Structure 1
Amino acid sequence: MQLKKIAQAFLALVLTVSAHAETVRVGNVVWNKSASGSIDEFRNLTYDNRAGGMVFIRPSSNNQRAKESSTNVAIDDRFLVSVQDGHYTSSAVCAGAVQLSAVSTGIHINDLSADPVLVTVQPRQVLYFMISTDSDYRPILQQVDANTARSLLQNTYRQGHQISRVDVSNCPEPVIAPPPVYTPPPQVNNPPPVREEVPTLRLDIHFDHDKHNIKPEFKGEIVKAAQFLAKYPGMDAIIEGHTDSNGTDQYNIGLSQRRANTVREALIRDHGVNPSRLRAVGYGESRPIANNATPEGRYTNRRVMVVIPPQ
């Protein structure tokens, strides 16, 4: 009889429910209905590329314990979790765009899609939501950042009797956008730049050795030079004087300058060319166009040219 009383007392002890800790103990099995936690525990929601996680935090509001005060959270009109006042809970969810909604347990309806919010869950991403309620327990969902969630969790307890409705193995594989294909810009075969030719007129005016006067037989070349300049009325011109290699460099520079001056003066005096358009330059023997070793070559090098330089 004494042994039977001891057994009954032991059985009553192991079935004790602690309301304060919200812990149920049956034999060696312990079920924690709520317990405090931290934001670090949600890392286990980010282990799969096909899913992310959602955390719902309902800060304490006058310690509401009525059954109808609980909030049911649905995803795409399917029940996801339920959370009581002063508690938080979490769940894995498939990655992608989802419709998130929350209703009060007390309204007793099957339609869980009231006032849904479109939320996009990235793979391995955890989203945090705060749930507040009005006087009729109607829930209001508000997404918060991780720092705000960390602060809210300090005063709430984990609602531990949740069973996840999402099997991550059934989530579709994430659609990975192919890397952009680099398309080189169309090659434009630009034509090579057109090299602007400098208009040049070589006058067939030749000079006797050590002379700079224009012989009568070369007067027609002066007319040709005037016509050439008239063809380019808006451009200036250079009258170039040249010599052969006889004489010193310094002397030939002066001689070539006098030859250029003679042609310039003839164009101004006899053909009315504006003096401001003409500049005479003597190059001496520095720019031969023929061999100075022969009389013919030296005769060719004793010349005058009219050049239209780049403007």
Structure 2
Amino acid sequence: MLVAALVSLSACGPRVFEGESAKVIEATELPPPPEPPKVDARVEVTDDKIVIHEKIAFEYDAAKIQRVSHDLLAEVAQVILDNPRIELIRVEGHASAEGEADHNLELSQRRAEAVRAHLVKKGGVPEARLEAEGFGEDRPIADNETEEGRGQNRRVEFVIVRQAYTETRTITDPSTGLSRVETEDKVD
């Protein structure tokens, strides 16, 4: 009986006891807990690319991927595996305009190949879904006259070359006014 009374009292809000009687104190509602901060995705799929919001780090003047980028590449691999409609991705290597153009072209090719190999070996991405191509300094996205610009030009991009999609169209019969939806699977 005492337990039941305590349970029923606890359901009504806080109480202060004075002698043998209890006073109910009006309970104020606690605000909801704050939502955890939204974390921007490091990897996202757009219409024509898999965009990474961090750079892949390589050893200086080499095609060896630094360990700090392994988690990022694991996320890239998971995005590829989670999107089977993306059939072919070109891993593109790009360089700044520092040094010899031939060296930059060769280094960007080796880096693109290193990323491709990492995604296959460590990420489980089927080889047939990836190709690698180095462009050297031929496709800058920033000014090569500043260190910040050169840093932006040194990058790896993931370009969607071929993907499956479904085209949907509504056809209306002019004589009856009735509509029907047709779908067709395509590859682009």
Provide the TM-score with structure 2 as the length reference. 0.56
The answer as to whether partners of 2:92 and 2:134 remain within 8 angstroms in 1 is: yes
Partner SS, residue 76 of structure 2: helix
Gaps of 5+ in 2: 1-45, 163-187
Q: Deviations 1:252-302 (Å, cap 9, x if unpaired)?
A: 111100000110111111111111111000010111122222222222221
Please name the residue that 1:207 is paired with: 58
Shift of 1:209: 4.3
Q: Over aligned residue pairs, what C-alpha RMSD do you find?
A: 1.9
The answer as to whether partners of 1:206 and 1:300 remain within 8 angstroms in 2 is: no
Is residue 84 of structure 2 the alignment partner of residue 233 of structure 1? yes
Aligned equivalents of 1:300, 1:307: Cα separation in 2: 17
User: Greater Rg, structure 1 or structure 2?
Assistant: 1
Cα–Cα, structure 1 residues 293 and 207, in superposed 2: closer, same or farther, change >3 Å?
Answer: farther
Please name the residue that 1:301 is paired with: 153
Q: Where in structure 1 do 4 or more consecutive aligned residues deviate above 4 Å?
A: none
The answer as to whether partners of 1:243 and 1:252 remain within 8 angstroms in 2 is: yes
Please name the residue that 1:177 is paired with: none
Q: How many residues in Structure 1 have an aligned counterpart in Structure 2?
A: 116
Partner SS, residue 200 of structure 1: strand
Q: Which has the higher contact order (CA 8 A, sep 6+)?
A: 2
- Map 1:113-262; keep pairs closer than 5 Å: 197-202=47-52, 204-234=55-85, 235-262=87-114
Letter paired with 1:272: G
Aligned equivalents of 1:209, 1:216: Cα separation in 2: 13
Aligned equivalents of 2:93, 2:131: Cα separation in 1: 11
Please name the residue that 1:43 is paired with: none
Aligned equivalents of 1:206, 1:273: Cα separation in 2: 20
The answer as to whether partners of 1:290 and 1:297 remain within 8 angstroms in 2 is: yes
Shift of 1:208: 5.0
Provide the TM-score with structure 1 as the length reference. 0.35
Shift of 1:197: 2.7
Shift of 1:249: 2.0
Letter paired with 1:216: R
Aligned equivalents of 2:151, 2:143: Cα separation in 1: 10
Partner SS, residue 161 of structure 2: coil
Partner SS, residue 220 of structure 1: helix
Partner SS, residue 218 of structure 1: helix
Aligned equivalents of 2:138, 2:60: Cα separation in 1: 17
- Map 1:102-121; keep pairs closer than 5 Å: none
- Map 1:38-57; keep pairs closer than 5 Å: none
Identity %: 38
Q: Deviations 1:136-187 (Å, cap 9, x if unpaired)?
A: xxxxxxxxxxxxxxxxxxxxxxxxxxxxxxxxxxxxxxxxxxxxxxxxxxxx
The answer as to whether partners of 1:201 and 1:305 remain within 8 angstroms in 2 is: yes
Gaps of 5+ in 1: 1-195
Shift of 1:227: 1.9
Please name the residue that 2:122 is paired with: 270
